[in-house]
């Protein structure tokens, strides 16, 4: 059982090690912090922490560094998350508020989150499996070419150019647009695809040369990007912290490129009472990320679906600041989509 003072000693060891990357000794703790006890007492506390496998000596006669178990106890006992500064909050609102569509929002999100935390930032696309068709638009580009636009209630906009053998008729194009929106607007992806397969049945046979390529293209758009995927930014931050990875960072880089493993990890992480959760070190070993920590939070898309965003980096990271940044960006995304 770890006493309150020993827990306080662990906190300062984590803080100083994250800040300096240098092992922390009892002498520096006594000099830097007001514990009101002797260095010998601090050494005893550190010995107890070492017995509990919460800290370890990386070298003989050195100070101590936190273990994965130590980071876990530290995170679990964070009294509160360090609030973002007004400037950071303003940066989130300004930068993300300039987004033009879902792709732009998520691309901006990972760039911003990477800058706020100096870690690899990840954001999951809202799942199209729960999305519904909001609107279909058909835009003539030339005599035999048009643009099909599929907009979902999750904010996704999918566009394709269609070449037709029949010359476009503006009046009929308007009729086709109206009928398509009436027949598949509000439907889920699977039902929309089924309805589109029989779209030509509602039109005269001589219109099939136009209706069929449009319907087939919309079916492709319905299923485009249906697989869950992640947007990522800040991989260069791993290179800057290469010293925190024993051996080489290449296994970590390979693991984050394999999105299936990360998506599975995201799916197994549920937010705690603070709205954010951490998976630390060996807790990520089965995903090939045993030397990293992953912090995530959930956000709601405009279609009501839930997706996750977060950061990945070495276990030696500023958990309080990074968890606060992840939570703040997730909450802003939810508000942004809720206003759409």
What is the pLDDT at residue 193?
Answer: 84
Place of tokens 């009472």: 273
The count of residues in the chain is 340
CA distances from 197 to 79, 156, 163, 218 (A): 56, 22, 19, 10
Class of the CATH-defined domain 4-76:
mainly alpha
316, 17 Cβ separation under 8 angstroms: yes
What is the pLDDT at residue 253?
Answer: 85
Query: Which residue(s) pair with 232 in the sheet?
Result: 122
66, 13 Cβ separation under 8 angstroms: yes
- The whole-angstrom separation of Cα 101 and Cα 99 is 6
Q: Which CATH architecture has domain 86-127+228-338?
A: 2-Layer Sandwich (3.30)
The pair of structure tokens assigned to 193 is 């695809």
Query: Which residue(s) pair with 159 in the sheet?
Result: 149
The pair of structure tokens assigned to 136 is 């279909």
- The whole-angstrom separation of Cα 92 and Cα 311 is 16
What is the pLDDT at residue 130?
Answer: 66
H-run or E-run covering 176: helix 170-184
H-run or E-run covering 307: strand 306-314
Could you list the pLDDT tens digit for every one of the 340 residues in the chain?
Answer: 788 999 999 999 999 999 999 999 999 999 999 888 888 999 999 999 999 999 999 886 679 999 999 999 999 998 777 778 888 888 888 888 888 788 898 999 999 999 999 999 999 887 655 678 899 999 999 988 999 999 888 777 889 999 988 888 889 999 999 999 999 998 887 788 888 888 888 888 888 888 999 999 998 888 764 556 789 999 999 888 888 888 778 888 888 887 888 888 888 887 666 789 999 999 999 888 999 999 999 888 765 567 889 999 999 999 999 999 999 999 998 888 775 5
What is the pLDDT at residue 269?
Answer: 82
Burial of 170 (C-beta count, 10 Å sphere; 0-12/13-18/19+): exposed
- The whole-angstrom separation of Cα 137 and Cα 150 is 7
| Domain residue limits, the chain | 4-76, 86-127+228-338, 129-223
Q: Which CATH architecture has domain 129-223?
A: 2-Layer Sandwich (3.30)
Helical spans, DSSP H, in 21-150: 26-32, 39-51, 68-76, 86-97, 102-117
What is the pLDDT at residue 339?
Answer: 59
CA distances from 292 to 159, 279, 300, 326, 338 (A): 38, 8, 26, 16, 33
What is the pLDDT at residue 164?
Answer: 86
CA distances from 51 to 22, 27, 28, 61, 180 (A): 21, 20, 21, 16, 68
What is the pLDDT at residue 326?
Answer: 94
The pair of structure tokens assigned to 120 is 């690899």
Backbone angles phi, psi at 290, to 5 degrees: -65, -10
What pTM did the predictor assign?
Answer: 0.73
Give the torsion through C-alpha atoms of 157, 161, 165, 171, to 10 deg. Answer: 50
């Amino acid at each position: 059982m770890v006493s309150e003072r020993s827990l306080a000693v662990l906190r300062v060891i984590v803080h100083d090690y994250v800040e300096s990357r240098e092992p922390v000794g009892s002498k520096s703790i006594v000099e830097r912090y007001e514990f009101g006890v002797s260095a010998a007492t601090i050494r005893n506390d550190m010995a107890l922490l070492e017995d509990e496998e919460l800290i370890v000596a990386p070298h003989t006669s050195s100070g101590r560094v936190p273990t994965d178990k130590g980071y876990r106890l530290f995170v679990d006992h964070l009294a509160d998350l360090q609030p973002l500064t007004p400037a950071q909050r303003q940066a989130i609102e300004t930068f993300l508020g300039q987004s033009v569509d879902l792709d732009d929002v998520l691309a901006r999100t990972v760039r911003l989150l990477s800058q706020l935390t100096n870690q690899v930032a990840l954001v999951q696309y809202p799942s199209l499996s729960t999305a519904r068709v909001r609107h279909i638009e058909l835009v003539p580009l030339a005599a035999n070419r048009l643009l099909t636009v599929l907009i979902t209630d999750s904010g996704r906009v999918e566009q394709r150019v269609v070449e037709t053998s029949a010359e476009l008729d503006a009046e009929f194009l308007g009729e086709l647009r109206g009928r398509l929106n009436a027949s598949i607007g509000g439907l889920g992806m699977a039902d929309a695809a089924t309805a589109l397969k029989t779209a030509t049945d509602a039109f005269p046979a001589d219109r099939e040369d136009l209706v069929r390529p449009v319907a087939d293209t919309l079916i492709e758009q319905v299923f485009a990007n249906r697989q869950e995927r992640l947007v990522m930014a800040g991989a260069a931050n791993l290179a800057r912290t290469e010293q925190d990875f024993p051996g080489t960072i290449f296994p970590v880089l390979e693991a984050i490129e394999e999105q299936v493993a990360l998506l599975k990890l995201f799916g197994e992480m549920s937010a705690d009472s603070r709205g954010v959760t951490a998976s630390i070190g060996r807790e990520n070993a089965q995903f090939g990320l045993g030397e990293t920590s992953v912090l995530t939070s959930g956000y709601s898309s405009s279609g009501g679906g839930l997706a996750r965003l977060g950061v990945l980096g070495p276990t030696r990271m500023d958990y309080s600041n990074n968890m606060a940044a992840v939570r703040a960006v997730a909450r802003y995304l939810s508000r942004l989509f809720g206003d759409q």
